[in-house]
Structure 1
């Protein structure tokens, strides 16, 4: 169990997210969305209807395999974070207007793939954080929350209740899985959700998980919700709450000030300011903290969250300089994130965005070939 209230001398978890697998994001796997109006997994399933199961099950089978877990272990990665949708167990789940005429549009069978993933992780000595990435009604308005441009999770009690129930079922199902390291209560809830409401939900979810998973076996992870860690001072503290991790996501491509930076500004932010943050957050909050997501992306065009212009960091660079810039940016971030309890690159595989694809970053030499 992590030693709460202290800053670890080096990262305990060196991990990768398995995004785009059990929860679709259009920018990560555009081939699945070709010819469709759908912008997220909800509308993808609703639009395809009866054709969705065969397509999605083929994706589940081929996008991430046992060989990928073996490769991660070989290069020294010791953990994976697996994003999930609230529909992972199948119906029933709350209805949303985005479903259209189908009360239960989501493809069933994802839980069987998750079972397999936990077995693969155990076989290869990888630790797993299971992450409720998409909640009913969507908690952030992003495609990764299940319904793009909708943020209604906090507006209906049945959405909150279902989220807690799903986390309890996950804890009950995997309580004996030796690979299970932690369960994350909710990914990236938006700032428009009141902090007090979010805290109440986190406490309910903690209790639901602890009914099945004791603190000496499973960590409970909560995200900052895009707000200062100081809003959580005194929250979920021992001895009443044990083995709790705080999650921050560290991208440098979604704020206008960051998009305008040159490469040297990015290196200073990543390697200097973010390193200092690691000590400040963990000392003031009294909780071990992970960087649950980060990447080498400077350009938000592909994730469709910024209208442009793009790539200021790499402007006017030739090929050699660009390669050096990516390596320097990766190294600066890794050195900073080693001061946290752990980190997870986003993501393991994408179809056309190498800066966000762990396999491609390693192959190109932007990231190290070994992580031990």
Structure 2
């Protein structure tokens, strides 16, 4: 499917790549902070626990509900360990050569079945790469960023993308494959471009441009660093992915709701106009949320964070959430599409799409 129909989507985060803040119950009583250390710490017990999570966290009923409210796409994060225990060793594995639980690919197969049943499009996103590309828990190993240091890690990432393209390239639901989620801001842009270009051709060897998009993330840098990159006619159906949050740096955390809204309708709106007019590629906002809670930032950044919204009563907080949601949607609708992060968490309602809808912070219908 060539770009055209606007995608209004939701991420299925915390499902095939674990993130402790999203599913704290899975990590209770453990020292683990990410999926790698979780599998290493649990050892043989990891298989039973993770398979139970895979079968209960997201189900067919969730796809049915998303379709009912008018969502037409899902972005599914996956790890490099999805297919087989042939991935390169990393020192975080300890004595285990291949610690990750197998069988995730069958879960992804089932997700494609459900997406096709309910008419949803699927973006498969390589969220965690060997050696970790960003040092975040969502990259597989927190506080480690070594993906760019070994050719074996980069090569295996490309192999994983080609396996995804080979397995799902003819599936009716497949909208696109994202080559790497959130590579860190200090990785060399030239290296990322070489990798992305190689990924494009590996995916294209199995997926026609008329059917499947190739998607790449901005890597926390200006779109201007990608001006002229992967342009038609040599490259076709390439999509740029940006993520927009206001809760991870101190300047944003210190904002009151009025300054949060101002950043959306002024800064992000101006950015959208510049990007749409200047990059030459269609763009998704691949991640966004209603998260303004400093408690989440404190999971990654040390130091005290004063919650600027504690003075609000419940009614005022609901209004703030609705306003922040509406402002973002008004801006993000300028792009080719957007994907809320995420469908579901255990204890963070502003990051849970379904709870945001049910609380009235987000619209009840998206079509």
Q: TM-score range by the shorter chain?
A: over 0.9
Greater Cα shift, 360-369 or 59-68: 360-369
> Alpha-carbon deviations, 1:277-298, whole Å to 9, x = none?
1121121110000000000011
1:163 to 157, 161, 169: 157
For the residues of structure 2 that align with 1:17 and 1:57, how far apart are their CA atoms? 20
Deviation at 1:302, TM superposition (A): 2.9
Whether the aligned pair in 2 keeps the contact of 1:23 and 1:144 (CA below 8 Å) is yes
2:356 to 327, 339, 361: 361
Whether the aligned pair in 1 keeps the contact of 2:165 and 2:206 (CA below 8 Å) is yes
Whether the aligned pair in 1 keeps the contact of 2:93 and 2:99 (CA below 8 Å) is yes
Deviation at 1:311, TM superposition (A): 5.7
SS of residue paired to 1:82:
strand
Aligned to 1:144: 138
For the residues of structure 2 that align with 1:71 and 1:293, how far apart are their CA atoms? 20
Aligned to 2:199: 205
Deviation at 1:320, TM superposition (A): 1.1
Deviation at 1:312, TM superposition (A): 3.9
Residue 290, structure 1, aligned to residue 296, structure 2: no
Residue 274, structure 1, aligned to residue 241, structure 2: no
Whether the aligned pair in 1 keeps the contact of 2:121 and 2:173 (CA below 8 Å) is yes
Residue 219, structure 1, aligned to residue 199, structure 2: no
For the residues of structure 2 that align with 1:281 and 1:255, how far apart are their CA atoms? 23
For the residues of structure 1 that align with 2:266 and 2:82, how far apart are their CA atoms? 40
For the residues of structure 1 that align with 2:320 and 2:211, how far apart are their CA atoms? 40
Structure 1 runs not aligned, ≥5 long: none
1:54 to 45, 48, 54: 48
Cα separation, partners in 2 of 1:369 and 1:32, compared to 1, 3 Å: same
Aligned to 1:326: 321
Aligned to 1:335: 330
> Alpha-carbon deviations, 1:256-283, whole Å to 9, x = none?
1111111100001112321221121121
Aligned to 1:27: 21
Whether the aligned pair in 2 keeps the contact of 1:299 and 1:311 (CA below 8 Å) is no
For the residues of structure 1 that align with 2:31 and 2:54, how far apart are their CA atoms? 21
Deviation at 1:310, TM superposition (A): 3.7
How does 1:254-269 map onto structure 2 within 5 Å? 254-269=248-263
Whether the aligned pair in 2 keeps the contact of 1:83 and 1:132 (CA below 8 Å) is yes
Cα separation, partners in 2 of 1:78 and 1:308, compared to 1, 3 Å: farther
Whether the aligned pair in 2 keeps the contact of 1:86 and 1:136 (CA below 8 Å) is yes
> Alpha-carbon deviations, 1:81-120, whole Å to 9, x = none?
0000000002100000111100000000000000000010
For the residues of structure 2 that align with 1:119 and 1:78, how far apart are their CA atoms? 15
For the residues of structure 2 that align with 1:364 and 1:75, how far apart are their CA atoms? 14
For the residues of structure 2 that align with 1:311 and 1:354, how far apart are their CA atoms? 19
Aligned to 2:342: 347
Total equivalences in the alignment: 366
Whether the aligned pair in 2 keeps the contact of 1:15 and 1:344 (CA below 8 Å) is yes
SS of residue paired to 1:196:
helix
For the residues of structure 2 that align with 1:109 and 1:140, how far apart are their CA atoms? 25
Whether the aligned pair in 1 keeps the contact of 2:2 and 2:212 (CA below 8 Å) is no
SS of residue paired to 1:314:
coil
SS of residue paired to 2:180:
coil
For the residues of structure 2 that align with 1:202 and 1:135, how far apart are their CA atoms? 13
SS of residue paired to 1:89:
coil
Whether the aligned pair in 2 keeps the contact of 1:299 and 1:310 (CA below 8 Å) is no
Whether the aligned pair in 1 keeps the contact of 2:2 and 2:210 (CA below 8 Å) is no
Residue 229, structure 1, aligned to residue 223, structure 2: yes
Over aligned residue pairs, what C-alpha RMSD do you find?
1.2
For the residues of structure 2 that align with 1:311 and 1:130, how far apart are their CA atoms? 36
SS of residue paired to 2:43:
helix
